[in-house]
Amino acid sequence: MGLAGRYLEERGFSTVVLTPTHDFNRAVGIPRSAAIEYPYGRLLGQVGDREGQKNVLLAVLEVLRTAERPGEVRHLPFRWPEEPKETKWQPPEMSPLIKLFLEEIKKARRQEAGGERS
């Protein structure tokens, strides 16, 4: 996302990137970053938390509105509500695509581990 933001900036569009890795974004030249301590894949918040997601989005837009200099990083005041070890990363049901290819995935993993040959 950060590189896409830089591309758009070079063409005259103002951008802000919501990221848990603000140091990386700064290193690759992202104009504005809103740093958040949320896990990858859940940068707007927990699934189903509409109010929390709205608050994050509004804070990101405020960074876009008020940032004053290139490379500026604003640390958003939000904290993930669970301990990392207790966070449920996977959805309760696997995706249809994974279900479709599950046996092939298992077979490939066994082959990588040396447990089966083709």
Which of 112 and 51 is assigned the larger pLDDT?
A: 51
Q: From edge to edge, which strands make up the β-sheet containing 17-19?
A: 17-19, 32-37, 72-79
Which of 90 and 100 is assigned the larger pLDDT?
A: 100
CA–CA separation, 78 and 93 (whole Å): 28
Distance set, CA 118 to CA 75, 94, 97, 99, 101 (Å): 50, 26, 23, 22, 17
What is the pTM (predicted TM-score) of this model? 0.67
The answer to whether residues 70 and 76 touch, using CB atoms and an 8 Å cutoff, is no
Q: Looking at the predicted structure, is the pLDDT value of residue 1 above 70?
A: no
pLDDT value at residue 75: 94
